[in-house]
Amino acid sequence: MNTSTIFTRMDSPIGVLTLAADGEGLRRIDFPPPRPPPAGEAWIEGDSEVLRETRRQLEEYFAGSRRDFDLPLSPRGTGFQRRVWTTLAAIPYGTTWSYRDLAQRLGKPSATRAVGAANGRNPLPIVLPCHRVIGADGSLTGFGGGLPTKAFLLRLEGSLPAASEGLFPA
């Protein structure tokens, strides 16, 4: 396993994103402000094929011409977290699921809180679309990039719940 992590930054409509990849694939996407590397890891600023392709696909997404991502992924987390994150990719563009829907899809209908916690630790937002998970009542709930960013992404996809439209002006 290649443990070297390379990172770069890219401008986006939601601020400067930090993209990080290792020899296995895309490892992290950080909203501004960037988080520090995990303890004990040294990240090197640079570029790689995975980072270039991630940047290209994100630019297409923000331009409205991409709905799905096709990237090698290398997120770090527990087995349960990785199952939750993989399931996020099944939420179709332009739709939202509740935390309950996500828990049921995982076959863990009583694990809504654990699913919510794993969703909140998603290291690859946008690519693994945790922004598409909302409250059962249609409300926007916590999001690492902030609720205005979540509203922006849902509006971009045409799926911002009507109840939230006035709360987060475009």
34 included as an active-site residue: no
Bridge-partner residues for 18, per DSSP?
A: 9, 30
pLDDT value of residue 169: 64
Tokens in use for 153?
Answer: 């992404």
Res 162 pLDDT > 90: no
End-to-end CA distance of the chain: 43
* 26 and 84 part of one domain: no
In a domain, 167, yes or no: no
Cis peptide before 33 (omega within 30 of 0): yes
For 97-116, what is each residue's pLDDT tens digit?
999 999 999 999 999 999 99
Angle at 108 between CA 107 and CA 113, to 5 degrees: 145
Q: Which residue has better confidence, 163 or 131?
A: 131
Residue 38: partners with Cβ closer than 8 Å, 6 or more residues away: 76
Please say whether the beta carbons of 89 and 81 come within 8 A: no
pLDDT value of residue 75: 95
Q: Could you tell me the residue range of the domain that residue 20 belongs to?
A: 5-63
Selecting among 91, 102, 127, 130, the annotated active-site residue is 130
Instruction: Identify the CATH number of the domain in which residue 47 sits.
Output: 3.30.160
* 41 and 98 part of one domain: no
* 44 and 85 part of one domain: no
